[in-house]
Amino acid sequence: MSLLDIWKTTPGELLAKHLWQTIAFAGTGKLGDGNETSAQLRETLSHVPLELLSRWGQEATDGKFEDSGFALQDIVNEAGRRFGFTVYPGTYRGGGGEPYDGVWESPSGHCLVVETKSSDNFTIDLNRLAEYRNRVHISKRLREESSSILLVVGRQGTGDYEDRIKGSRYAFVMRVITVGALFRLLTLKVLTANDQSAASLSAKIFEIFTSPKFTSLDPLVDLVATAPLVPIPSSYCGDSASTVDSYKNIVDRNVADALFNRVRTAGPSGVPKRHLQQRCHLGKSFQDVLNSLTNRLLLRTEKRGKRTFVLLGEGKLKDEILLILADLYEKGSPKEAVNIRAFAAEKGFAADLADKVAAELRAEGTVELTGSYPGIFCFTDVGYQKYSSRIRAMQEMGTRVQ
């Protein structure tokens, strides 16, 4: 059974695995140029939800297993494909006629020669990267202004590379971005996929990657990701009028919108609490707003060592699940099932929250199991009737936002 077959039949098996364990299931279990393991991994990466792709990207960045650099190269290329680029993978060891890690071609025809490094500890030859770019010029018959170089860095920052690029003759054709910023931007694109501004955002993303105005893309991505996307629907705060009224009394509604959207854009990794408070300029009402959103289960905090992270909460996940189940039910497909764990991962929620919400919905009779896999649920008639008013309110709010 191929790796993709495992994902399609028992996705929970891969959701629970580390990246190195997943690679071990594919082919010989060792990545190599043109081999079956590489083919199966790339095929599977194109099907997994963004949350899992992001998690595996972090594991590859950490570099704690053999061939982690090769895996990171494939994950970064998959991110490029999801941005809307046409991606041509390179080679793992830089041999042959494709010594680069990948080439991303935008709809306008601009090509990015992509080089991936797990950290800025690696020495990089800018002249060598320029040579890769020249090869792409020749093979694709491009004008010089129709190509540039994108350096994607994993651990630490981009400072050393950025300084070297700015002091070289390649300052206008080389960009550098961290893996974290790459996935923050991709999460933002996914969040607005069904919004009317999606096409405009995609065009801006292509411009970010190809514009000669920037060297380091991280500050620009942080600015875009911090900007509020949409107001928080009041229906997310619960059913009772008193709950909604108390939400309106939050000290600063703008702070609430900025905080919520910043955490939503960050996805499953969450955002350090101190980072939110210090860098997003959320003002003195930050703690009051955070407490209010946490009490309403829209956000939650999680202690990791000495740091506190802020993540999306179970109340928001429950509403997302109710909406997708209602959509299937109202289309006349009440027995069409939803894999709650996979759905939660795609929306940027942690697996433990998915299990908790699924257990709650099942205990109250809102959902029932269907099929042979234990994590797949559909609405019950009783469940749909119970939440019909809440679903209507959320649907109306969603229509107004769009």
Co-location of 272 and 351 in the same domain = no
In a domain, 27, yes or no: no
Please tell me the distance from the alpha carbon of residue 249 to that of residue 257, in angstroms, as a whole number. 14
Co-location of 72 and 182 in the same domain = yes
Dihedral angle sign, alpha carbons of residues 58, 61, 65, 70: positive
Q: Provide the pLDDT for residue 75.
A: 96
Instruction: Say whether pLDDT at 393 is over 90.
Output: no
Co-location of 222 and 80 in the same domain = yes
Co-location of 164 and 216 in the same domain = yes
Co-location of 286 and 341 in the same domain = no
Domain limits at 290? 234-312
Mean pLDDT rounded to a whole number for the chain: 78
Contacts of 391 (CB under 8 A, 6+ apart): 322, 323, 326, 384
Residue 206 tokens, joined:
């292509």
Q: Which of 226, 260, 289 is the endpoint of a domain? A: 226
Co-location of 83 and 137 in the same domain = yes
Which amino acid makes up residue 194? N
Q: Which of 182, 200, 226 is the endpoint of a domain? A: 226
How many domains does the chain contain in total? Answer: 3
pLDDT in tens, 214-227: 788 887 777 666 55
pLDDT in tens, 87-131: 999 889 876 667 888 899 988 888 899 999 876 566 778 888 888
Q: Going by DSSP bridges, is the β-strand pair 338-339/299-304 parallel, antiparallel, or unpaired? A: unpaired
In a domain, 11, yes or no: no
In a domain, 43, yes or no: no
Q: Which of 126, 125, 86 is nearest to 102 (CA)?
A: 86
Co-location of 203 and 56 in the same domain = yes
Q: Provide the pLDDT for residue 247.
A: 34
Which residues share a beta bridge with 112?
Answer: 104, 148
SS3 58: helix
CATH number at residue 285: 1.10.10.10
In a domain, 39, yes or no: no
SS3 240: coil
Q: Which of 196, 226, 256 is the endpoint of a domain? A: 226
Q: Provide the pLDDT for residue 344.
A: 82
Q: Provide the pLDDT for residue 104.
A: 92
Q: Provide the pLDDT for residue 251.
A: 38
Q: Going by DSSP bridges, is the β-strand pair 307-312/271-272 parallel, antiparallel, or unpaired? A: antiparallel
Which residues share a beta bridge with 135?
Answer: none
Co-location of 97 and 167 in the same domain = yes
Please tell me the distance from the alpha carbon of residue 178 to that of residue 175, in angstroms, as a whole number. 11
In a domain, 388, yes or no: yes
pLDDT in tens, 362-390: 888 888 877 555 557 788 888 888 888 78
Q: Provide the pLDDT for residue 248.
A: 36
Q: Provide the pLDDT for residue 108.
A: 84
